[in-house]
Structure 1
Amino acid sequence: MKKYKRKSWITLGALFAGIIGIFLLGTLLLDDTMINFKGKNAAEKENIQAVEALGKQPIEVVYQIRYVCGVTDEIRETVLMDKLSQLDKEWELIRATDKEMVYLKQVDDLAPACKENGYMGLSEGGVLTLFLGPPADKKVIQTFYPLDTERLESSLPSEELKLLQSGIRVRNLAEYNSILSTYGAFAKS
């Protein structure tokens, strides 16, 4: 029985020594962390002051709006830096210098210009193309893929082929996607 009591005291002593060791180590680490935190806090204060000073500086901001149809609209303005924090989360900062910041917003729709005057047709060489105005005006917005014109001629009625050559009016995203999927079957491999 004495051996059992002696082992219990040794185990209890080792456990107590371990707890004290962990406590002392934790205290040392906590003190070091507090010192580092205090240093960071002072540095953070300096950064905040620098940012506040910059907030009063005007900067050129470019807002790019990129549409599915390949059109990118740009809006430029000069603003104070502190106003930039009020931007929607939809805007992504893509480039920043000390003179200019460029933000991009992807829009899952056609650009207003494409809705107003977009035509799908064939460019020279038989490439399916989105034009601003009829294909005869040759104002290319976006090119897609070359079409197998021989297969088109043999598979489609001549009226539909003529319509594609003269340009199919595109007014919305659904029509745009429909034309791409319809003529995608005729893409050259």
Structure 2
Amino acid sequence: MMEFSLWKKLKRRLRKRRKPLWTLGGILIMLLPLLAAPQASTAAELRMEDYNYAPASLIEALQNQHEELEVLLKKEYVCGEEFSQLGRMNVRSIIELLGKHPAWTAHLNGQAQVVMVEYIQDLSDACKQHAFMSLDKDGNLSLFDGPPAKEKVMRTFFQLDMSYMESSLPKEQVQALADGIKINDLDDYNSMLSAYSEFAVREPASRGAMKRSY
């Protein structure tokens, strides 16, 4: 492509001359200024001050990328995550996409893929269908993928003071937690954390103060 462009420029110069210089020396003389002219680099020439909305680490990682990269979108929920493909993009398109979505973050992973991350204050659809809150084997309030009997812990929150909880709550409520309480939405999730935070293991004085506040 560059050779074709140079030849077009050379022909325009030749047409302007009264006496064509169709000698090798003449052609070289005309080519010299064109060859000496700086050519556009295929590498990404990104200045951080021009893209201050993008992570500096991403700008640095993309500086020497010459090829288009695969771009993924990771939706990271309070519980669960989802991935989708956005296609292949050049470096500037990747940075401009971030500019259109200022709440997103991004990083270059080990597979030379750019992962855009969108944080969503909700539960993923899969989490809404399968999440339970219960106790793990160490007495921690935990979020499970499926019934607690399967022991697929997705997240652990805090350890519960079992003696304090059993003396404060009806046996049916304690048993329900042990069996696993289905989490259907973000309200259920937050309500469970709020309700059982009173029984989190803490200093006795702090525990008493929290008890009186309810």
User: Under TM normalisation by the shorter chain, which class is it?
Assistant: 0.5 to 0.7
> Could you tell me how far 1:97 is from its partner in structure 2?
7.7
Quote the residue 2:130 is aligned against: 117
Quote the residue 1:143 is aligned against: 156
> Could you tell me how far 1:56 is from its partner in structure 2?
9.2
Higher helix residue share: 1
Do residues 154 (structure 1) and 172 (structure 2) align? Answer: no
Quote the residue 1:75 is aligned against: 84
Do residues 106 (structure 1) and 131 (structure 2) align? Answer: no
> Could you tell me how far 1:76 is from its partner in structure 2?
4.1
Q: Distance in 2 between matches of 1:89 and 1:179?
A: 32
Structure 1 gap ranges (5+): 1-42
Number of aligned residue pairs: give it: 144
**TM-score, normalisation: structure 1:** 0.65
> Could you tell me how far 1:150 is from its partner in structure 2?
0.7
Native 8 Å contact 1:58 1:78 kept in 2: no
> Could you tell me how far 1:83 is from its partner in structure 2?
4.7
For the pair shown, the structure with the greater C-alpha radius of gyration is 1
Quote the residue 1:13 is aligned against: none
Q: Distance in 2 between matches of 1:104 and 1:86?
A: 12
What is the one-letter code of the residue matched to 1:187?
A
Quote the residue 1:35 is aligned against: none
Deviations 1:52-101 (A, max 9, x none): 9x9994312232221112x2333345412265334533321233689321
Q: Distance in 2 between matches of 1:127 and 1:74?
A: 29
Native 8 Å contact 1:67 1:108 kept in 2: yes
Native 8 Å contact 2:43 2:66 kept in 1: no
Q: Distance in 2 between matches of 1:124 and 1:62?
A: 36
Secondary structure at the aligned position of 1:109 is classed as: strand
Native 8 Å contact 2:146 2:152 kept in 1: yes
Q: Distance in 2 between matches of 1:51 and 1:159?
A: 63
Quote the residue 2:72 is aligned against: 62
Using a 3 Å threshold, how does the CA distance of structure 1 residues 154 and 96 change in structure 2: closer, same or farther? closer
Native 8 Å contact 2:134 2:141 kept in 1: yes
What is the one-letter code of the residue matched to 1:72?
E
Deviations 1:118-157 (A, max 9, x none): 1100010110000111111111111100000111111110
Native 8 Å contact 2:141 2:158 kept in 1: yes
Structure 2 gap ranges (5+): 1-37, 46-63, 203-214
Secondary structure at the aligned position of 1:136 is classed as: helix
Of 108, 118, 121, the match for 1:95: 108
Q: Distance in 1 between matches of 2:198 and 2:87?
A: 48
Please provide the CA RMSD for this pair.
2.9
Q: Distance in 2 between matches of 1:126 and 1:147?
A: 6
Q: Distance in 1 between matches of 2:75 and 2:121?
A: 10
What is the one-letter code of the residue matched to 1:65?
K
